[in-house]
Amino acid sequence: MFGIVGVPVIEVAMAAQASGIKYVGMRNEQAACYAASAVGYLTGREVPCCPPPPVSMADHMAITEALAVLKGAKRPLLIIGKGAAHGRAEGALRELVEGCGLPFLPTPMGKGVLPDDHPNCVAAARSRALLQSDVVVLLGARLNWILHFGLPPRFDPHVKVIQVDLCAEEMGNNMQPAAALLGDVNAIVKQLLEYVHKDGWKYPADTEWWTTLKEKMAANATMTKALALQSTTPMNYYQVFHHISQLLPHDCVIVSEGANTMDIGRTMLNNYLPRHRLDAGTFGTMGVGLGFAIAAATVQRNQNTGQRVVCVEGDSAFGFSGMEVETMCRYKLPVVIIVVNNNGIYSGVDAETWEMMGKMGDLTTVAPPVTLLPEARYDEVMNAFGGRGFLVRTEEELRSALQLSLSDWERPSLLNVLIDPSSDRKQQEFPWLTRSNL
């Protein structure tokens, strides 16, 4: 149980403890709610007083229609969403992807349902895959803002969508599907496999579509590598994530939130196991990170999995629930927090520029709204509560601090990684949906 007590809630928490329920006292109600929701997602535990829901399957006619559309595709794409992770569909999906030779793209929390380094994963060519696919199979994924609502210019205006979803009210949102498969994702994928096995259908590996995707993946990888291998101080985002990715255990749970930090981290920090990534998700909500991390660390401790929990935060995102580091220290939860600190929201300014602005007048009228205090000492916040804080400026300091933190199972750690305030994402093919009109 996660919560915050006060009269008359104190007695409720005490009664829970007396009945054998573990109580984790949080510092903010929202963080407690985020933690509770994450535990259910990570463990798949049903509410004890409710019988498990029946597993629903798609109509057989709808399965036939969906396969006819898929087999007619010249440029097919599977999109694996959070619903597939929640539905424990990883085994059936691996069989479908590998047996049929289909390219797939994970949504942010669909990462790890199949490993990000799987040869059929085309995440490195995401924009090209979405734009040029002629048939898209949504597997527990929804056409919300993360997938650009399925609309041009990010999607082909004539794309056909096969939608697999548990919720009837989600069918046809933003786009009318060519085939709608209502039911449990895992059960429906198994239905598709049953039909595919009968005729042995497989998408050819030597198509122009596969060539296009692989070429784009290689080009993007080259561009990212060039940014990652720069040896500058202060570092850029790609340098930071390059070194983090080299040191993280493959079975760790990655929690992430922020703007550029989360977006770039999604592309550079691989997940290899299902339900091992938690981030801002469907609503892009900031403040989820530390609550999610506390939940993951609690599950890890209860199940004795031996898996690390690593929380990668933008400096702005960390501020939403930063006081939860006290919760981590109080319960000795060995979470590793990495704050990628660019002194602002999207971008900031360096200390010298900040000082100059202060001399120009009132900072409430002079300082850009996206700026935060330069080189804020978030590491000292962790130190104040008894955890380990590290101030990081260089690649060597980053690697040393992260290795020390990953080896410490007794207390939480926070790496305050100072990067270039002007560091940005690599050039994108499309502008953001909500680009500024200023």
- In this structure, the answer to whether residues 363 and 297 fall within a common structural domain is yes
Q: Are residues 286 and 381 in the same domain?
A: yes
- Pull the structure tokens for residue 70: 């898929």
Establish if 424 belongs to a structural domain: no
Say whether both 207 and 128 belong to one domain: yes
pLDDT of 49: 56
> Same structural domain for residues 266 and 368?
yes
Q: What is the mean pLDDT of the chain?
A: 94
Query: What local confidence, expressed as pLDDT, does residue 45 receive?
Result: 78
Strand pairing of 277-279 and 336-341? Answer: unpaired
pLDDT at position 25 is 97
CB-based contacts of 184, cutoff 8 Å, min separation 6:
55, 56, 57, 87, 166
With a pLDDT cut of 70, the percent of the chain lying above it is: 95
Decide if 429 is inside a domain: no
Q: How far is CA 351 from CA 54, 121, 171, 357, in A?
A: 59, 42, 51, 10
Domain identity same for 38 and 84? no
Model confidence at 328: pLDDT above 90? yes
Domain enclosing residue 283, as ranges? 229-418
345-377 per-position pLDDT tens digit: 999 999 999 999 999 999 999 999 999 999 999
Q: Do 143 and 105 fall into the same domain?
A: yes
Q: Is the pLDDT of residue 320 over 60?
A: yes
Asked whether residue 53 is assigned to any structural domain, the reply reads: no
pLDDT in tens, 105-143: 999 999 999 999 999 999 999 999 999 999 999 999 999
| Average pLDDT estimate for 218-233 | 95
Top-confidence residue, 44 or 113: 113
Encoding tokens for residue 329?
């220290």
pLDDT in tens, 168-191: 999 999 999 999 999 999 999 999
Tally Cβ neighbours within 10 Å of residue 285: 15
438 within domain boundaries = no
Residues 6+ positions from 31 with CB-CB distance below 8 Å:
2, 287, 290, 291, 294, 321, 324, 327
What is residue 50's predicted lDDT score, i.e. its pLDDT? 61
User: Is the same domain home to 67 and 170?
Assistant: yes
391 plus 311 within the same structural domain: yes
How many structural domains are present in the chain? 3
Measuring CA to CA, which residue among 348, 331, 121 is closest to residue 213? 121
- 284 and 261 assigned to the same domain: yes
At residue 68, the pLDDT reads 98
CB 379 within 8 A of CB 355: no
pLDDT tens-digit map of 243-296 = 999 999 999 999 999 999 999 999 999 999 999 999 987 778 899 999 999 999
Q: What is the CATH number of the domain that holds 185?
A: 3.40.50.1220
Statement to judge: residues 275 and 168 lie in one domain: no
* CB-CB neighbours of 21 under 10 Å: 10
| pLDDT of amino acid 54 | 81
Q: Is residue 190 part of a domain?
A: yes
Residue 167 has pLDDT above 80, yes or no: yes
Residues 198-220 pLDDT 10s:
999 999 999 999 999 999 999 99
